[in-house]
A and B are shown apart, each in its own frame.
Chain A
Amino acid sequence: MAANNQTVLRILWSRFAWRHWRLSPVSSLLLLMILALGVAAFFSIRLANRAAVASFQNFTDLITSQSDGLITAPVGDLSETILPELRQLLGNEPVNIVPVLESSAVPPRRDENEALLSRPTFQMLGLDLPALVNLDSQQDNRSGWFGSATSDSTNNSEKGFSPVLQNPLSVFISEALAKHDGLKIGSPLPLIINEHPVQLRVAGIIPNDPKQPAAPANLLIMDLPALQQLTDKTGRLDCVEFVLEDGPRRAEHWATIKKKLEAVNSPNAPRWIVSSPTDRRSSAATMTQAFRLNLTILSLLAFLVGLYLVFQGLDGAVVRRRNEIAVLRSLGVTSRQIQNAWLVEAAAIGFAGGLLGLGLGWLGAQVAVKMVGKTVNALYYANSVDSAAFNFSEAAVALILAVVASTLAGWRPAQVAANTPPAQVASRAGMTNYPGGKLLSNAGLGLALIAFGIILTWLPPLRLAGGTRLPVAAYATALCWIFGAGIFAGQTLAGLGIFFHKLKINSVTMRLASSHLRAPSGRHRLAVAGLVCAVGMTAGMAILVGSFDKTMRGWIARTFQADLYISSDGAQTASSSSRISPATWKAVVANPAVKEANVIQFLEIKLGDATTLLVGNHVAFFRDYAKPAWLSAPLNDDIFDTNRNAALALVSEAFAERFRVQRGDEINIPTPDGFRTVTIAGIFSDYGNERGSLLIESQQFKNWFGNELAASLILALKPGYDPETLRAELRTAHPGLGVFTSGFLRGEALRIFRQTFAVTYALELIGVFVAVIGLAFTMASLLWERRADLNTLRALGLRRKELATAAALEGALTAAAGLVLGIAVSFALGWLLIFRINKQTFGWTLQTDWPWLQLSALALLVLASASIAGWFVGRWAVRLPAEREE
């Protein structure tokens, strides 16, 4: 019996399903493409996310294979004087102690006015080069570190590394960079490190550990003391890694060492934080968790729109094959067999569309990864991601999702197909008996969903470790509203039909079009629901981006009010470690043109389990020249008075949201000498970073951290001095400094912001395309059902053109109904995105902006393309004979 079932299924597949796909290759391909687009959106975002997270690598892993653990300073950096202490502490433990210094550098600019972020950022790793040969992973390394730096072919390390140690400008580069830039041993490599233009010399190629991925093109390795000198960090280290000798029970040995290391820490002033490389990687993953999840959810929503279409496509197929179903049922094929055949077909569409989507997604990922990488670079940490590798587990998830979702979408059409009695087809009755019709005409359910969504908006975000907040309830609201409005949309369609009918327009085509809408079929309702979903999401995103744009413009105009902004020319991103030495910034500040200066220092600090930025600056300057918008304004002027602000701080909105603090609360700041307590004097809005900022007076920063390296410098000039002239003067005197006027910086900030959001415009176009294709599918199904009526109308004297126009009108009216509800939903989604999802995830309050022009353009585009699609489908339908395949 089972064998018999299989045979029937096979015959059904080849004669019933596959034949139809072959007969209408265009619509088949279109359906596949739409599903593929959904899968591609999901898959590409997943791959890009994965690449961005993977790009946060502990670069030393490439050299050490993987260290067993590491120590970092509770705040700032470590002194190298701890090294002999560590060795003594660990006694005869067979462990390699690997000191590490990290920095960044960029090539010098080619053009004085070149755009920001247009140069690559190199990650520089300072390691004790001779000692690397002690690592087990390096001993398997046949190419060695120093063989390439010397003509001595015997790879004599002692001889080989001597020139490297003697030349403090020696640098090791990756094979990828050597190939890309045509660099060889001895080639010069000009870079800006901190504010110093330096000409490094390629001393060799970073040898690849066969067990590790190849060194990325942006990784440069120098001898540690040489990098210390170049970065003005003599005697300082960023971390110390511990690599145990190979052997059994390695984890236990590390546990013993960890215990010894932690034993010397006092609870009030810990000397170092002991962690594992896994902790470090997972903290990077946590840092970007919300950002990545948001992208994934957006891509899933795109997938959801795709599913509407699969549903519509399969439903259309049921309609077109109704006769055959009847014949098959008459021949004894059971309803179960028919249902199975449909499900197999739906799964096959899912599989084929999924496969196509994987290919498209991989291509899309190569574009998306650059966008994701740039954002991660700007907001979180430096990464070099420029391509996304194909990942089989992600591919499997995407494919399974496609097959399961497609099968689920085909479930109702399959049931309808299976339950179609032969007699019904013969009588052509029940043509409006549409799958899901009941559900879609249940306006009450739609309203209930919308109401439930409103209730959900009161729920707070889900708080995870590391300060991550996920607006789970807000996402659920979005789904409720999209579905609720989709269900409710049928009522709008009927209303529109009645409205046009009542207008009594003396036009056969109009009457014909509106007559079908007065009591809309389930199929109409589904098409409208699909449109509501697509338009709602697309326009909602447009509102978010518009609001973001407006807010940023205001913030940028307000914030950049001083005359000149100076940073190391090597500092391109938020995560840059390039600094300006005290000698240089003091020389700049002493320029006679300078009226006031703000020397900005910052440090990443950990409060609880979340990292944030501690900023040292002149708070009164910040008030006067950054004109902060206060969410909680300081109650008095103490915070702006250097005599009274020693224990006060300002925090950004993102900080307040993240750490759930308000004005008057106290914060314990970790410093090398233990915790210092400050009171929050005010909260200002800020869009610079989502981890939050804590502003204290420069003097405090210097007192607590004993360091005067500046991250940037802001200058206000005396009247009569021209910023451009001083800019040119400073650039000549300090070619390693990036000096920008406020005008240039405002323009660049907006350009970069808009570039980041450019992809949303592409998404909007895709949304419209998908929605209109869905409508075309629906129109084709409806007209196919009505082909006998069309023939009758033709016989009654209606011309083809009139019938096509009627179809175009029907399509346009359906689109109009979808648009009305869709735009309404977009307003709601826009509000949700701005005041819930964005606020809960990033802690930024945005000013609302309704981009009317863009929304109108979207509406026109949807209406026009729906009309055109309807007209073409109508022309196709009126050519159909009363009974014909496809």
Chain B
Amino acid sequence: MKISRTILNKRNSRGVCALLLITFFSHASAAEFPATTAEGYAIPQYGKQFVFPRDHGSHPDFAIEWWYITGHLFATNGAQFGFQATFFRRALMPPGATNHSTSAAFGNDQIYLAHMALVDKTSGKFIYQEKLNRAGWDADSSTNTLDVHNGNWSLRLAPKKIGGRDIFELQGSVGADAAFVLNLWPKKPMVIFGTNGVSRKAADVQASSHYLTFPRLAVAGTLTLDETNLTVTGEAWMDHEFSSSQLGAGQVGWDWLSLQLFDGRELMAYRMRRSDGSTDPFSTVAWIDAQSIVRQIGPDKFSWIILQHWRSPKSGSKYPSLVELSAENLVTSKTENFIIQPFTADQELVGKVGGVGYWEGACRVLDENKKEIGRAYMELTGYAASLKGKF
């Protein structure tokens, strides 16, 4: 196993500090990937030089892109919530393809999907909404900075730093039931997962992405729930990932996990799931230490054990509902065990709008002694139907 330490992107104009990436893939060669897919979409390339804030923005030469925020909110009245705010972009035609449409307001080259969800950790009430809009007047993403919107939902990087730090402004709602306006700012530097800027998901080189993450953001803002305004604070996790394919041959979906431990460390895990239920060798667990140093391990160093299942009454899909993640800590060479327990089982987004149903929920993290040691968000995809061909 080859372990490398790479200092990435010292030129980062937005002050992302030097990141250390430790990769373990003995078979992850730094050989050149083809530049584009057969259709003409870009394929992530090793050594990509990220420039910010431009790379917080959109990359329309890639087929798929998402900005993904999950977090935990604490209201001044004691109420606690989990929230999800996701903006997806999907290209409908590769760059340079002949386009008959000249309408800027109603584009036909990109489509935007977005999901907002809120779970009341006390009552277990889970609400969510999906939106879908074509690129144009009601959905778009800037290619210069983070500025993505879909309907009345938006995520923007504030044009000016406040107190010397980047501020992300999130505006969202869930139907007429809830609305939130949140400011988020990094408590830790951004990390880039994968090897030399590329996060691979399968043996097929096209199944890879550029995967940028703020593992711990501070949150403050207002949550309006059932017409009551609540002042909230909390912590969130933000992914920004772009690719032209997320799944390789034989893969049907993935289980993804972001853990924010009370001791200041984070873990990110994705388990690429094959059609027979087994874990794909390109699955990974990434440890992020207090200084945002990332250490990634392969499936030989972690295990993912499903302790319980839950069947959705809405979709009939069966999802894991209690999971034990055991991962080797490369610093201590010890295996640590985490029990991932959802605050409520019903955190399924059925996918009426986008056509893809999945489970994405706020969880507590317990140690072997059932002691709560952190908070998590877990994503379970491909259980309602295989995602092959969709991502």
Contacts and interface: CB of A to CB of B under 8 A. Distances in A.
Interface in B101-117: 101-103, 105-106, 108, 111, 113
A610 interface: no
A439 B303 CA distance: 106
A268 interface: no
A831 B111 CA distance: 66
Contacts of A80: 105-106, 137
Contacts of A157: 132, 353-355
A228 B353 contact: no
A622 to B, nearest CB: 38
Interface stretch (A241-249, A397-405, A481-489): A241-249
A403 B24 CA distance: 93
Given A134-B132, A223-B106, A225-B103, A154 B355 contact: yes
A864 interface: no
B251 interface: no
B175 to A, nearest CB: 4
A428 B130 CA distance: 90
Interface stretch (B39-47, B176-184, B241-249, B335-343): B176-184
Contact of A94 (B179, B356, B385): B179
A247 B226 CA distance: 9
Contact of B134 (A165, A229, A246): A165
Interface in A215-262: 223-225, 228-229, 234-235, 244-250, 253
A250 B177 CA distance: 11
A154 B385 contact: yes
Contact of B390 (A131, A156, A223, A225): A156
Given A225-B103, A247-B176, A165 B352 contact: no
Contact of B152 (A95, A130, A161, A168): A95
A646 B103 CA distance: 36
B108 A165 contact: yes
B353 A165 contact: no
Most A C-beta atoms less than 10 A away, residue of B92, B105, B353, B390: B105
Interface in B90-134: 90, 92-93, 100-103, 105-106, 108, 111, 113, 129-134
Contact of A83 (B92, B93, B132, B137): B137
Contacts of B130: 134
Nearest to A226: B101
B231 interface: no
B177 A247 contact: yes
Contacts of B179: 92, 94
A181 interface: no
A225 B106 contact: yes
Contact of A245 (B106, B176, B227): B176
A143 to B, nearest CB: 13
A134 B133 contact: yes
Contacts of A235: 103, 105
Interface in B155-177: 171-173, 175-177
A793 B280 CA distance: 118
Interface string B17-47: 0000000000000000000000000000000
B133 A90 contact: no
Interface residues of A, number: 45
Nearest to B100: A168
Interface string B319-358: 0000000000000000000000000000000001111100
Contacts of B390: 156, 158-159
A92 B355 contact: no
A155 interface: yes
B1 to A, nearest CB: 39
B133 A91 contact: no
A87 B132 CA distance: 15
Interface in B55-109: 90, 92-93, 100-103, 105-106, 108
A67 to B, nearest CB: 15
A139 B385 CA distance: 19
A93 interface: yes
Contacts of A83: 105, 137-138
Contacts of A249: 227
Interface in A103-130: 128, 130
Contact of A224 (B106, B111, B181, B356): B106
Given A94-B179, A156-B355, A168-B100, A134 B131 contact: yes
B316 to A, nearest CB: 15
A189 interface: no
With most chain B CB atoms within 10 A of its CB, the pick from A130, A247, A248 is A130
A162 B101 contact: no
B105 A253 contact: no
A244 to B, nearest CB: 7
Nearest to B88: A158
Contacts of B108: 165-166, 225
A81 B105 CA distance: 8
Contacts of B385: 154
B15 interface: no
Nearest to A131: B133
B250 interface: no
B92 A234 contact: no
Nearest to B390: A156
A165 B92 CA distance: 9
Contacts of A133: 132, 352-353
A94 B353 contact: no
B151 interface: yes
Contacts of B172: 92
B111 A158 contact: yes
Contacts of A156: 355-356, 390
B355 A234 contact: no
A866 B234 CA distance: 96
Contacts of A100: none
A229 B151 CA distance: 24
Contacts of B134: 128, 130-131, 165
A228 B105 CA distance: 12
A87 B103 contact: no
Contact of A228 (B90, B103, B177, B355): B103
B328 to A, nearest CB: 39
A171 interface: no
A97 interface: yes
A841 interface: no
Nearest to A134: B131
Q: Name, among A95, A134, A245, the residue most crowded by chain B CB atoms within 10 Å (CB to CB).
A: A134
Nearest to B355: A156
A176 B307 CA distance: 53
Nearest to B179: A92
15 contacts: A84-B137, A91-B152, A128-B106, A128-B133, A130-B132, A133-B353, A134-B130, A134-B132, A134-B353, A157-B132, A165-B101, A166-B92, A225-B105, A228-B103, A244-B176
Interface of B: 90, 92-93, 100-103, 105-106, 108, 111, 113, 129-134, 137-138, 151-152, 171-173, 175-177, 179, 181, 227, 352-356, 385, 390
Given A97-B138, A244-B176, 11 more contacts: A80-B105, A84-B138, A91-B152, A92-B152, A128-B106, A165-B134, A166-B108, A225-B105, A225-B106, A235-B105, A245-B175
- Which 4 A-B pairs have CB atoms at the shortest separation, nearest pair first? A247-B176, A225-B103, A165-B108, A225-B106
